Amino acid sequence: MRNLPEENKEYSFYAMLDRMQYINRWGLMRNNRTENLKEHSMDVAIVAHALATIHNRIYPETGPLVDTHYVMGIALLHDASEIITGDMPTPIKYFSPEITRAYKEIEGEATDRLLDMLPEELRSDYAELFHPDRDIPANALAYRLVKAADRLCAYIKCVTEENSGNKEFVQARVSIERSIRALALPEADYFMEHFMPAYGMTLDRISE
């Protein structure tokens, strides 16, 4: 007989995830359009799925094939800990190795708190998304693709803000593009070359 969660017990995991919409990103910068964590996670999931598909179909010789839906799952939850910690600006998060290490520990504790909001029977499924076993080559690549998608979405944000006349993001775009190239991932380079230009187009141009 299958195990069932304790009767009548209530769990808040999904309600907490819904609160990603209240966490705004890019807090230190002037935004023409505010971006929240919930929409960012959706954007990263779409781009990560694209990178995984590009890998499997175009660059399969560069590493193990990856499960595109697994990649998307990791992407959807990659920043979920910020529901508890808030969004720490990148310059602060990486100001020193000590701060980075401490923040990673806080992120881990926040993730564990979220997992505790699930029935025990479901936790291992979500733990695999929060903490991919990177000793498994396919999982390690999935994790790298999500990290690349996160960078690409940050670049898209910069392009969008610049196109709306906001010069606040000019230097950020240059720095983020440099970081994307430094990843040396052919999937990310392919996305930059073939898909990124459309993000700077008008609707009429995109629809042609």
* Confidence tier at 190 by pLDDT (50, 70, 90): very high
* Confidence tier at 1 by pLDDT (50, 70, 90): very low
Q: Is the pTM of this model over 0.85?
A: yes
CA distance 77 to 41: 7
Taking residues 116-128, report their average pLDDT.
97
What's the pLDDT score for residue 207?
Answer: 86
Question: In this predicted model, which residue has the larger pLDDT, 207 or 127?
Answer: 127
Q: Exposed, middle or buried, 203 (CB in 10 Å: 0-12/13-18/19+)?
A: exposed
Whether 154 contacts 41, CB under 8 Å: no
pLDDT exceeding 90 applies to what percent of the chain? Answer: 79
pLDDT at 181 over 90: yes
Whether 46 contacts 178, CB under 8 Å: no
Three-state SS annotation for 138-164: HHHHHHHHHHHHHHHHHHHHHHHHHHC
pLDDT at 89 over 80: no
- Tens of pLDDT, residues 53-72: 999 999 999 999 999 999 99
Three-state SS annotation for the chain: CCCCCCCCCCCCHHHHHHHHHHCECCCCCCCCCCCEHHHHHHHHHHHHHHHHHHHHHHCHHHCCCCCHHHHHHHHHHCCCCHHHHCCCCHHHHCCCHHHHHHHHHHHHHHHHHHHCCCCHHHHHHHHHHHCCCCCCHHHHHHHHHHHHHHHHHHHHHHHHHHHCCCHHHHHHHHHHHHHHHHCCCHHHHHHHHHCHHHHHCCHHHHCC
- Tens of pLDDT, residues 97-115: 887 788 788 888 999 999 9
What residue ranges define each of the domains in the chain, with the CATH number in brackets?
32-206 (1.10.3210.10)
CA distance 27 to 107: 18
Task: Locate 100 and state its tokens.
Answer: 């980075």
Whether 130 contacts 115, CB under 8 Å: yes
Three-point CA angle 158, 47, 129, nearest 5°: 115
